[in-house]
Amino acid sequence: MGGDSVAHILKGNVVSKDIKTRINKRVSNLREKDKFPTLGIIRLGENSGDISYEKKVLLGTVKN
């Protein structure tokens, strides 16, 4: 196959923090231009776990 492969262990909390930081910067830049991003959720079905997660997302209480 060729090429050197190196495995990296990803730590979820580190990756999550990095993603959130980058998103917050992008959102701040958009807000400076009077553009306000929103979150849309499309749910199919009535799975209670999905409904619970959706409510947490809408309240901003989901921790990744």
| Residue 46 belongs to some domain of the structure | yes
| Residue 2 belongs to some domain of the structure | no
Total of domains in the chain? 1
User: What angle (nearest 5°) sits at the alpha carbon of residue 19, between those of residues 53 and 44?
Assistant: 30
Query: Which domain covers residue 50, as residue numbers?
Result: 12-59
Judge whether residue 64 has pLDDT over 60.
no
Q: What is the pTM of this model?
A: 0.56
pLDDT confidence band for 1 (50 / 70 / 90): low
pLDDT 10s digits, 22-39: 999 999 999 999 999 887
| Residue 38 belongs to some domain of the structure | yes
| Residue 28 belongs to some domain of the structure | yes
Query: Please, what is the average pLDDT of the chain?
Result: 85
H helices within the chain, ranges in order? 12-32, 48-59
